[in-house]
Amino acid sequence: MASRAAKSKPNREIRDLKKQLEDLAAGVLDGTVERGNAVVVNQIINTRARLIELERRAKEVEELETRLAALEERTQGGRSWRA
C-alpha cells in the first residue's frame, strides 16, 4: 500500500494545478492576462496534469506487479485450484 506521503503528493499537485487554472481564468476575465498567454499556460498545465496521471498509472502498475509476484511466489510449488 502507498504511504500517506506518497498519496498526498499527487493530491497537492492537483490542488496546485486547479489553483493555477483558477488564477489564470481570473486573470483573463479581469484583463491582466492576455488570452494568447493564457492559452499557452493552459497547455502547459494540461501537460503537467497528463504527466501526473501517467505517473499515477505507472505507480499503480508497479504496485500490481509487486502484489502479483508475491501471490505467484506464495502459490509456486503448491497445488493449483483445479489439480
Q: How far apart are CA 67 and CA 61, in angstroms?
A: 10
* Residue 14 in domain: yes
Instruction: For the chain, give the mean pLDDT.
Output: 89
Give the rounded percent of residues in the chain with a pLDDT score beyond 90. 76
Quote the domain boundaries for residue 71. 9-75
CB contact at 8 A, 45 and 20: yes
Residue 1 lies in a domain: no
In the prediction, which pLDDT does 28 show?
98
Q: Is residue 4 part of a domain?
A: no
Is 49 within the bounds of a domain? yes
- Using CA atoms, how far residue 59 sits from 1, 4, 53, in Å, is 11, 14, 10
Q: Number of structural domains, the chain?
A: 1
The grid cell for 27 is 486573470
Taking the model in full, what pTM does it have?
Answer: 0.71
- Residue 3 confidence (pLDDT) above 90: no
pLDDT in tens, 47-63: 999 999 999 999 999 99
